[in-house]
């Protein structure tokens, strides 16, 4: 199996011997430049048309190195496992064999049992590190969380970033704690029965510290994405790019014991070839699962409303285990907060909430104003456990004006309604950090680019994005450290007063979800939802054998709504 035998990057094999492997097609000559502990230059061998290799001795862990292409400048390794001095510095050798894992008895949970919790390492705690998360795991476990989803931690420029500006997909953000920090966190999670899902970005690379184009045709002019030229997944030399990213998925499973990946915005991963790179990747991962016996999950963020994302290969699908269901959020959000229609103009009816519960995609082929076209296809037959739902997430909060959480927008009662709508749904629920206790601090967009020109562009871009909402008032400056600081969770309020009461509510709902047989059934045909008044609905769940039922009544109006019981009468 190629993907397990010849990975990219630097690998210590034994006795300080290290093999370096690099994809650099069309390059005549590559040198390995060891920077420390003892400087030297080693010419690399061209292995085939596209790859270079060098194997050297006296190369302990933490050895720093660059590559030199055709007598050019020092460049960090695109497949660097560690960038201890940031995106512009040398790459560091990591010994992936030596970490003292203590999670041998860990087995991944079935996906259907997941209670997901999305967190951003930098703002989850004051310290903003992997290490600082560990003491907080008991609180999450107590809440009922059994899987955390970590926003991207691949090395990005500076120390403050959502993570989607990452430029070293194999490296672990040094300021978060680097490779060992992540391993410590995963090991601790596993020992507490918590799975770890990692958010990865395979649709673009960030604008700063991106040395990829120097190495080869990673990008193609054939397709444009919101970030510029698309990654080259189907053009000449695309095999190297396909393997770079497909093997990256395996990298996290093998070396960091990650239990699943959440792929960012797969609609911007463009491939018109015979085998879509996402299928190619998922096939590789299937072989990894076969080979190792481990269970790992692939979850997509998709803006396509296309069932092919989660269909299997035989039916022309990409083979993801699950995908995010944004429509569930949008349908519910605009009912909870009608002013939200300014952002989600095509939502706001009760019927859409019904469709979100019973079919999945709310837009399944009809004309959508915001898109100026007919959009989506039906997901009616798709099992509910193939969808991850949420009432808040980094994107819906962070890209709303003022980084407003639901707490800022709706009443405490509505927060509870949102929680119940989420946790009693026939889908995989995901909380956004702080949601469970009504965190009042915002989640804003923040960056810490070194390049002043880029920083100015980011500022201007944000202002433009929010003009529609905020008029000429600029949104908080993404580059300001204070913007970042203002987003750090306030753990001090978590168990107090109304926060504590909301936390209990979440905890009880999660406990109910884990216990009640009717809530274990992901067959959407067994979920009924009835509109019983304006802003009021009944949700009826039942188990597969129809022995057990659960009825939940929701009322967003300010008046009592009559409802006859039992519901079938």
Catalytic annotation on 118? no
Contacts (CB under 8 A) with a second copy, residues 321-380: 365, 367, 371-377
Annotate 253-268 with b (16+ C-beta within 10 A) or e (fewer): bbbbbbbbbbbbbbeb
Contact criterion met (CB below 8 Å) for 54 and 97: no
CB of 3 to a second copy, least distance (A): 14
DSSP class of residue 474 equals P
Among candidate residues 307, 301, 315, 305, the one with its CA nearest the CA of residue 269: 301
Catalytic: 366?
A: no
Piece in contact with a second copy (CB under 8 A), picked from 3-11, 36-44, 129-137, 228-236:
228-236
Residue entry with tokens 């492997």: 21
Residue 226 Cβ, how far from a second copy at the closest point, in Å? Answer: 10
- On whether the CB atoms of residues 85 and 174 are closer than 8 A, the answer is yes
Exactly one of 259, 301, 435, 477 is catalytic; name it.
301
Helix (H) or strand (E) holding 114: none
Count of other CB atoms within 10 angstroms of residue 560: 9
CB of 316 to a second copy, least distance (A): 1
Least distance between a second copy and beta carbon 372 (Å): 4
Q: Among 227, 237, 491, 563, which residue sits at the site for a second copy (rule: CB under 8 A)?
A: 237
* Residue 382 CB, nearest approach to a second copy (Å): 13
Considering CB under 8 A, how many residues would be counted as binding a second copy?
A: 35
Question: Which of 80, 83, 155, 305 is close enough to bind a second copy by CB under 8 A?
Answer: 305
Q: Rank residues 53 and 239 by Cβ distance to a second copy and give the closer one.
A: 239
Q: How many Å apart are CA 454 and CA 462, to the nearest integer? A: 12
Residue 275 sits in the site that holds a second copy (CB under 8 A): yes
Contact with a second copy (CB under 8 A) among 304, 480, 531, 552: 304
Is 314 one of the binding residues for a second copy (CB under 8 A)? yes
**Can residue 110 be called a binding residue for a second copy (CB under 8 A)?**
no
Rank residues 272 and 411 by Cβ distance to a second copy and give the closer one: 272
| Whole-angstrom distance, CA of residue 522 vs CA of residue 85 | 47
Q: What angle do CA 110, 115, 120 make, to 5 degrees?
A: 120
What gap in Å lies between CA 359 and CA 188, rounded to an integer?
37
Q: Give Dmax over CA atoms of the chain in angstroms.
A: 83
Contact set for a second copy, span 187-226 (CB under 8 A): 221-224
Among 98, 102, 107, 272, binds a second copy (CB under 8 A): 272
For a second copy, which stretch binds (CB under 8 A), given 252-260, 269-277, 350-358, 498-506? 269-277
- By beta-carbon proximity to a second copy, the closer residue of 25 and 533 is 25
- How many of the other CB atoms lie within 10 Å of CB of 275? 12
316 near a second copy, rule: CB under 8 A: yes
Q: Which helix (H) or strand (E) holds 510?
A: helix 497-515
In angstroms, what is the minimal distance from the CB of 39 to a second copy? 36
Report the nearest approach of a second copy to the CB of residue 27 (Å).
14
SS3 labels along 51-106 = EEEEEECCCCCCCEEEEEECCCCEECCCCCCCCCCCCCCCEECCCCCCCCCCCCCC
Identify which range of 139-147, 301-309, 449-457, 528-536 contacts a second copy by CB under 8 A: 301-309
Cβ neighbours around 338 below 10 Å, total: 13
Closer to a second copy by CB, 267 or 414: give it.
Answer: 267
Range in contact with a second copy (rule: CB under 8 A) among 156-164, 165-173, 245-253, 304-312: 304-312
**Which residues are bridge partners to 228 per DSSP?**
225
Q: What residue ranges bind a second copy (CB under 8 A)?
A: 221-224, 234-239, 267, 270, 272-275, 304-308, 311, 314-317, 365, 367, 371-377
- Residues identified as active-site: 264, 301
């Amino acid at each position: 199996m190629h993907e397990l035998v010849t990975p990219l990057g630097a690998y210590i094999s034994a006795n300080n011997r290290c093999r370096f492997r690099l994809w650099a097609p069309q390059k005549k000559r590559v040198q390995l430049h060891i920077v420390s502990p003892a400087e030297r230059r080693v010419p690399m061998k061209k292995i085939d048309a596209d790859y270079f290799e060098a194997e050297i001795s006296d190369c302990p862990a933490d050895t720093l190195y660059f590559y030199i292409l055709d007598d050019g400048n020092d460049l960090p390794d695109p497949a660097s496992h560690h960038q201890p001095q940031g995106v512009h510095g040398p790459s560091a050798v990591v010994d992936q064999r030596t970490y003292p894992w203590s999670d041998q008895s860990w087995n991944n949970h079935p996906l259907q049992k997941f209670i997901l919790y999305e967190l951003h390492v930098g703002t989850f705690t004051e310290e903003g590190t992997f290490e600082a998360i560990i003491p907080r795991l008991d609180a999450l476990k107590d809440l009922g969380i059994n899987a955390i989803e970590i926003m991207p931690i691949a090395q990005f420029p500076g120390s403050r970033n959502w993570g989607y500006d990452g430029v070293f997909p194999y490296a672990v953000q040094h300021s978060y704690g680097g490779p060992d920090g992540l391993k410590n966190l995963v090991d601790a999670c596993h020992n507490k029965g918590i799975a770890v899902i990692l958010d990865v970005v395979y649709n673009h690379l960030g604008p700063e510290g991106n040395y990829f184009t120097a190495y080869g045709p990673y990008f193609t002019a054939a397709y444009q994405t919101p970030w510029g030229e698309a990654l080259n997944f189907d053009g000449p030399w695309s095999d190297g790019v396909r393997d770079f990213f497909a093997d990256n998925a395996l990298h996290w499973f093998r070396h960091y014991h990650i239990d699943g990946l959440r792929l960012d915005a797969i609609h911007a991963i463009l491939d018109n070839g015979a085998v879509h790179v996402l299928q190619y990747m998922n096939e590789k991962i299937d072989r990894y699962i076969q080979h190792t016996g481990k269970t790992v999950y692939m979850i997509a963020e998709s803006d396509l409303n296309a069932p092919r994302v989660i269909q299997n290969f035989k039916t022309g699908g990409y083979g993801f285990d699950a995908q995010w269901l944004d429509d569930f959020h949008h349908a519910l959000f605009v009912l909870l907060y009608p002013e939200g229609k300014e952002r989600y103009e095509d939502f706001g009816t009760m019927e859409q909430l019904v469709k979100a519960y019973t079919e999945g995609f709310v837009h399944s082929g009809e004309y959508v104003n915001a898109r100026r076209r007919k959009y989506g296809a039906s997901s009616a037959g798709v099992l509910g456990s193939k969808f991850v739902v949420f009432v808040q997430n980094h994107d819906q909060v962070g890209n709303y004006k003022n980084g407003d959480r639901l707490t800022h927008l709706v009443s405490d009662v509505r927060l509870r309604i949102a929680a119940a709508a989420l946790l009693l749904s026939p889908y995989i629920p995901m909380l956004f950090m702080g949601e469970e206790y009504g965190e009042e601090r915002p989640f804003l967009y923040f960056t810490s680019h070194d390049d002043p020109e880029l920083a100015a562009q980011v500022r201007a871009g944000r202002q433009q994005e929010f003009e529609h909402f905020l008029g000429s008032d600029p949104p908080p400056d993404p580059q300001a450290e204070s913007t970042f600081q203002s987003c750090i969770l306030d753990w001090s309020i978590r168990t107090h007063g109304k926060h504590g009461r909301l936390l209990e509510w979440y905890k009880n709902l999660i406990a109910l979800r884990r216990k009640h047989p009717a809530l274990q059934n992901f067959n959407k045909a067994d979920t009924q939802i009835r509109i019983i008044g304006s802003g009021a609905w009944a949700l009826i769940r039942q188990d597969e054998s129809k022995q057990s039922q659960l009825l939940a009544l929701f009322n967003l109006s300010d008046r009592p709504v009559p409802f006859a019981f039992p519901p079938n009468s």
